[in-house]
Amino acid sequence: MAPKNAASFPDLLEHIQVVRDIQSSPALLQAIEMGIEICIHAFLHGGKLLLCGNGGSAADSQHLATELTVRYTTDRQALPAIALTTDTSTLTAAGNDYGYDSVFSRQVEALGRPGDILIGFSTSGRSNNVLAAIETALERDMKVVFFGGGDGGAIGPISTVSILAPSTTTARIQEMHILIGHIFCGQIERRLGLVSA
């Protein structure tokens, strides 16, 4: 039987409410704007993005890196973005030799340079391997854009910019991360003049 209305889907109503909460939060919109500006500045000055997260956040890292390196809305020059979640040899070697908390920080140490950006995803803000990567990035004079939720956990306060989805439900936070990530991709393409306005 077909549902009669949207009330049949509480997840949909929650999603819509969280989007509205973002739309009505000047502080959160400003954080999104700052994150976009940081990424654009890096691209304009020869920098790259490194992205990391666990589970669904690993998928978000890979998804958004691909939107930048391949295409988002149109054919254009590739933009340098690397998901640190994809090299199974590196991930398993670092995990085996140094512990799972090092699987991203080791790659930041190898690949990160001053002027690069680390984008870290953690719905709780308490993922030790993301925290370690962020600490390593900051030590290397990189800026950090953090996608989190709730109160931002341990990671939010130390990041250059914290974009915290106004929810404590993992699924809603992840949905906002990919929505905001797509906003990043669209704004980056437009502001770099890679697509028509």
User: How distant, in Å, are the alpha carbons of 10, 94, 155, 162, 169 from that of 150?
Assistant: 20, 30, 12, 11, 9
Averaged pLDDT, 102-108:
98
Measured CA to CA, the distance from residue 43 to residue 64 in angstroms comes to 15
> Is residue 8 very low, low, confident or very high in pLDDT (cuts 50, 70, 90)?
confident
Contact (Cβ atoms closer than 8 angstroms) between residue 18 and residue 10: no
Q: Reduce the secondary structure of 81-119 to three states and give it as a string.
A: EEECCCCHHHHHHHHHHHCHHHCCHHHHHHHCCCCCEEE
User: How distant, in Å, are the alpha carbons of 12, 55, 80, 110, 185 from that of 71?
Assistant: 28, 23, 12, 26, 9
pTM for this one?
0.95
Tell me the pLDDT of the chain averaged across its residues: 96
Question: For 44-57, what is each residue's pLDDT tens digit?
Answer: 999 999 999 999 99
Domains of the chain, first to last: 40-191 (3.40.50.10490)
Question: Minimum mean pLDDT among 29-33, 74-78, 129-133, 147-151: which range?
Answer: 74-78
pLDDT score for 7: 82
pLDDT score for 2: 66
H-run or E-run covering 161: strand 161-165
pLDDT score for 1: 64
In sign, the C-alpha dihedral spanning 76, 113, 115, 22 is positive
**pLDDT of 37 above 60:** yes
